[in-house]
Structure 1
Amino acid sequence: MQTIYQTTITRIGDFAREALSDQMLITFREGAPQDIQDYCFIHQHGVTEGELHRGACMELANVRYPVTAVGEVAMQNLRELGHITLRFDGCEHAEFPGSVHVKGITPDDIPLGSILKFID
């Protein structure tokens, strides 16, 4: 298996966990503006190898989720800003150009230091 992207959660914004109740997780790289950081899981920015696509897997805190849809600018946002909006709803078509949809149960919490990666 090839790792497309891997990073570690280094900070959790004050309101970031609230999105989990809406089956959503929002990430941004370290150095994002403070008002954005408050709503995001902040991570060390990693290098992308290849393209994220439907059929790949996301692994978060050692749980795997199949990727069901990837928005048309999701990889560009991830590459340039470390920003991605993950939806745990299994949709087969991306709701927004920057969203990535996965199939599986939304985590109740994501601990600091968790590893997020996409693998092919």
Structure 2
Amino acid sequence: MQTIYQTTFTRVGDYARESLADHMLITFREGAPEDIEAYCFIHRHGDMQGELRAGETLTLANAVFPITAVGEVATSNLRELGHITIRFDGAARAEYPGTIHVAGPTPTDIPVGSVLAILS
């Protein structure tokens, strides 16, 4: 498998874990505006080695999730801002342009130091 993107979470915003109860996770690179950072899992920004596509695999904190849908601006948002919303609902169509949908159970926690990778 080829790594399209890989990063490590360095901080968790004060309200970020609350999104897991709604079956989603919001990421942003280090240096996010303070009002946004509070709701995000913050990570070291990595380099993109391709485009995000349905059918690829997302790994998160040692769990594996098939990607079922990718919004039209998710690749550019991740590449430029380190920002995506991951929905754990297995949807076949992206709900919003910056969203990635994956199949599988929502994690109960994503600790600092966890790795997110997208593999083709």
Asked if TM exceeds 0.5, the reply is yes
Percent of pairs with identical residues? 66
TM-superposed CA distance for 1:35, in Å, is 0.5
Structure 1 segments unaligned to the other structure (5+ residues): none
For 1:24-57, what per-residue CA distance to the aligned partner results, in whole angstroms no more than 9, with x for missing partners? Answer: 0000000000000000000000000011100000
The answer on 1:67 being equivalent to 2:67 is yes
Equivalent in the alignment of 1:92 = 92
TM-score (norm 1): 0.99
Shift of 1:112: 0.6
Q: Give the length in aligned residue pairs.
A: 120
The ranges of structure 1 where at least 4 consecutive aligned residues each deviate by more than 4 angstroms after the TM superposition are none
CA deviation digits over 1:53-105, x for unaligned, max 9? Answer: 00000000111000000000000000000000000000000000000000000
TM-score by length of 2: 0.99
The alignment partner of 1:17 has SS state of: helix
The question of 1:78 aligning with 2:78 is answered: yes
Give unpaired runs (5+ residues) of structure 2.
none
